[in-house]
Each structure stands twice: as C-alpha cells, then as structure tokens.
Chain A
C-alpha cells in the first residue's frame, strides 16, 4: 500500500497473511518462514523485516533461524531448481557423475545459478526414492534411475517449459 492511502486494496502482503495465520500459535516462526519460502522460493530481506515486526521478535532472531536451516534461501534461485540426490543409495549408484555432468552442461558449480537465471544446481540428501537411485529432482519432479546421458534431455525439457511460459505471458 502506498503512503497517503491512494490504494484502497485490502489485500495483505504475503508476509502479513502468514503472520496473521500463525501469530497466535506457539513455535510458529519457522512455519511462517516456510510459507514465504514456498511462495517466493526465497525469503527476501524486506519480508524478513515485516515478519520480525509482525511476530514481535527481533530481526536478529529471524536471521538466526534463517541462516541455521539449509532449507531457507536468502537469494532468489533460478527458475528451475535442480536437486541432485547425494544420499547414500544415490551416491553409490552414480550421483557424483550426475553432478559432474550437470556442472559441465550448465557451466556452474553447486549452489550456483546460471547467468540467464534459468537453472539453479544444488545437492540434497535423500529425496526418498532410494529404490530408484540415482535420483534428480527438478522443481519437485523426480527423475529416477537417472544417467549422465539423460542430462541434456532433461535440461532441454525444462528450457522448453520456460519458452512456452514466455509465449504465454
């Protein structure tokens, strides 16, 4: 809402909505941060401040929590987040080779985003499909029994998705 009250929209910001839902509940800070992380893919600084105010906790406490847990991101990730499972089963069945292939194809390292903002590469622990090791997940879609030779095709599939979205816009 702009100052001066020009906009009369009663719409709350995502942070305000999450705070409103969780304010009165015990141990809710992490749940509020989850809501933001899920919607935006990361927790922007401004939002963190809004949450601190709304939940009546010091901003430092919010950051203490945000930085402790791997799940929360402070910066926007790429449009497609590629998570390579590096759990034990996947490790034994070739996860390191998958990571190497992805790094080569995307020309980025783990925890990095491609310059065009399309792909973010990360390693995660066990996505729970050990019977299908090695596994990769892209924005939640899981590719089981993945081989380095499939990497290009998977990337092409997602590039196509984003091209379509651009056309739709």
Chain B
C-alpha cells in the first residue's frame, strides 16, 4: 500500500468543502433519528434539489450535537468559516422545506446577510445560551460537525495527525510519558491514571499484547460512549492506535453493547475506511508499526463492563469477573498483557498528542485534568450531552448549562455514577467536578451519567430502583452480592412502601457494610452506594416512611 499523504487528503477535502456556499448539519445520532431526523434529511435533500441547490449546499449527517431534548436539530453554516451560523430545533419535514425556501435561498441570493423571517426565528436556538457557551469540547469537538462516515472529514479536521506525529517523532516511551504528564485518568469510572496503566502494560512481558476498548456503557441512563462512537469513531480508533504503539500491542479489540447497533455500524465502517487508507494494517504510514482492530459485541450483561468479565466475554465465554491481581495489564485477553481503556479515555488521546500534555493539564483541578462528558438528564430544562472542563461546579452544570428545573419544582439532588454512584444534594451544588471531591461526598464520578432530580422524586424509591438494577445484574458468583443484595432490596422495597420499621433500616445498613467488604468485584462492592448516599443526605425521608411499633 502506498503511504497515505494526510496533508493532501485534508487539503483536497477542505477544497471540496470550500466550493460549497453553505453547509447544513443534520444530527443523525440515535436520539435525533428517533425524533425523526431521517425524514428531515430526506425533505432537505428534496428541497435543495428542487431549488437547484443540490450542488451548492452540502448536507452533512453528523453525530450528536448535544441538545437531544430539542431534536431533531439542524445546523446551518452559510458562507464558510466566518459566515453565519444558525441552529434550528424540533425540525420536521415541513419546517425544513420552509427553512430552505425562506431562509437559505434568500440568504444565498443576498450574499449572506439576511434577516431570518419571524415565523422561522421562533424555531432558532439562541447560540449564546450557556448550554453552548459554557461547554469546552475536546472529545466532542467533531461530533455534530463532521460526517462520521467519511474518513476524509476526520482527516480534514486534523485527524490521524497525532498518529503520524508519534510514529515519526516519538518513541513508545515518550508517548507514555506525554500521556502521563497530561494527567489523563480513566473515564470508565475508576479514574486510574492512563499513563500508569500504559506503562504497566508496556513493562509486562509477553509476545502478544492487546488494547481493549470498553464500549459496554453499563450505566442505565447515560450515553456518552455511544455518542462518541456514533459521532467520531475515528478518534477512538486513532486513540487505540496510539495506545497500541505505546504499549507494544499488535491488535485492538472493541467491545460494544449489542444494544448499540448504529455505533457498531459506524465503527465497522470507520475501520474499513482506515484500512483502505493504510492507517490500519501492516507497516502503517511506512513505519514498522502494524496494528489492526476487531469488534466484539456484548450481549446484555452489565457486569461485562467490569474489565475481567469483559475479557472473558471477548473470549466468547460467560462474563464472570475474576479476582485481581493479576491485573489485565499483566495477564488479560488469552492470558496476554492487555490494556483495557474506556471509549472516552481513548478519544482524549489524539487531542493530547496533537496539542500537548501541558495544554491538557492546564484544564481542570489539581487531581482531575482535562474535560468530562456527561449525559445530563432527568429534570433539567436543557438535557443532552455536554462536555465541561473538570473543576466546573455542579451549580454551573445544572443551573446554567442545564437551565435549572424543567418541572418548575425546586431541584433536590443530582445523581452521578449510576448504580455504582450516589446522590449529591442541591445544598452541595458548589462542588467542582473532580474524582476525589465526588468520592468524599459518597458518590463517584462514574462514566458520566448525571441525573437531575426534583422534589417529586422519592429518595428511597430511587435507591431501590438502582439496587434492583444491580441485583438483577449480579452474576451470582459470590454470596455477599447475590444474597445480600437481594435481602437489602426486599427491605428497601418494604420501607419505600411504608411497611418497614427501624429494625429493617438498621439491617439495611448492616447488609450494606457486608456487601462492600465481602463482594468480589466492583459491582457488589459499590452496589450499596445509592442506598448509603441517600441515607446520608435524606435520612429524614426514610424515617418518615417507617412504621413505629404502635402503628
């Protein structure tokens, strides 16, 4: 294969884009597709060709633009880089035809500056609301802007240049050093320093080594990883390539939930294109580095997000966790050294290499660097996918970016970390996003689920909801999790229904302690978190539900 000339590919793509007088981005991620963006896209193409604009205007199906609650979203860019930008919300086919006829067409005829007619402007989202201005996009920089199904657009946006840079200029050691200095920590929930994990894998002896991308995204109520895979699959592939070079691996394995068919399709398409361009396979970019990726699907078991269970599942077996050590970095997939990283972790890597560890470490707090993607949902006015620098306070996220309560009722708490996490009451909204701070408060950063709750949400009921999930998903291998969880759930349900007494509540606390200490894997160890944290901040709600002995 001849070496791909990235500069040339980028140049040609940019020239092609430059010839168009406008670009319309239409969100084609799962969220907006289900709100009807497929029909919008059809109407758009039809309207453009009926106005003779098909060649002049480029339609770009993109990944998630973030504001899923207001989708389908349509972004207009008229007249290049410093042209005019507009974002339409809740678009339908009729509105699309009107936008083309009454906004786009006259704008192009007027040479750009054109007042948007009033009946359309009410559908425009103001671009100066905090939802847009307070975000800082590193991982999501391309999602919502480029067509994830065209590698040329990724390359034109600077893609695969980080890979080229390390292959030409850096030793594997220097790459690990750079990632370590950036302060990047695992985004899958644990927060383990990525540089250290890479170093451990690089130092392990073994002929064959593996990079594994954890795309199992177990937290029910979160979809960061799905959106990254759907919206910018090449960034994750490039991250895997860089990781592979750094630790000395020959192949990368995606493990993606089967419930995410669109993500799987986009990744497979991206892999094929990368192979076609000589960016995967033998002697990449003319060097002696060879690497390829494969995809394996999950099959609906939450515990398979845990790394040792995941490895068993990739091998085609039942996904039950095993004790660590040995850690996967020592002995993982088929007993070879394996580096398991989360989707978002890997998606950060190309940007870190391109812009430098210093730039990355410049964002965030003392211990938590860079940005974090959250799926902001529940009772927030603007809900969707957001990315903020670490250190941003929960208040900024919920009140500014999220626009406060959607129900009109005062907010009560924020849940982070899903079934392994906990609640943070609104009185502590000034807490900054930071691994340690969240832990001190009895929650965890988790993978990025952030659920806003208002006064109507009962804390005992929420705790029971999460516990029911973990009990359901327990693999049953060890007793504290299998039996303790079930007993605790029964007691909680009894309490939530107003049938429990004080003895039941103290039994809940005892069981929580036993599960924490005695469970084999993270699922059982963290399962009591939602219960403990709601008890910590909202004990009164539980007490009010208890029956006294003379009831």
Contacts and interface: CB of A to CB of B under 8 A. Distances in A.
Interface stretch (A2-10, A104-112, A121-129, A151-159): A121-129
A58 to B, nearest CB: 13
Nearest to B68: A131
B240 to A, nearest CB: 17
Nearest to A93: B378
Contacts of B318: 64-65, 68
Given A71-B258, A92-B451, A126-B223, A131 B334 contact: no
B317 A89 contact: no
Nearest to B476: A68
A34 B465 contact: no
A86 interface: yes
Given A34-B299, A68-B318, A92 B34 contact: no
Given A128-B31, A135-B34, A68 B319 contact: yes
A70 B299 contact: yes
A65 B77 CA distance: 50
Interface string B18-34: 00000000000011011
Q: How large is the interface on B (under 10, 10 to 19, 20 to 34, 35 or more residues)?
A: 35 or more
A127 B297 CA distance: 16
A88 B221 contact: yes
Given A87-B220, A125-B469, A131-B71, A92 B378 contact: yes
B140 to A, nearest CB: 14
Contact of B220 (A25, A31, A70, A126): A126
Which of B71, B219, B300, B314 has the most chain A CB atoms inside 10 A of its CB? B300
A26 interface: yes
B3 interface: no
Nearest to A70: B300
A132 B316 contact: no
Interface string B432-461: 000000000000000001010100010000
23 contacts: A30-B299, A65-B317, A65-B318, A69-B299, A86-B220, A88-B220, A88-B378, A88-B418, A88-B451, A88-B466, A89-B383, A90-B221, A128-B226, A129-B34, A129-B223, A130-B377, A131-B31, A131-B68, A131-B71, A131-B384, A132-B69, A132-B71, A144-B31
A-B CB proximity, top 9 nearest = A131-B68, A88-B221, A142-B34, A69-B299, A70-B300, A71-B300, A87-B220, A29-B316, A125-B220
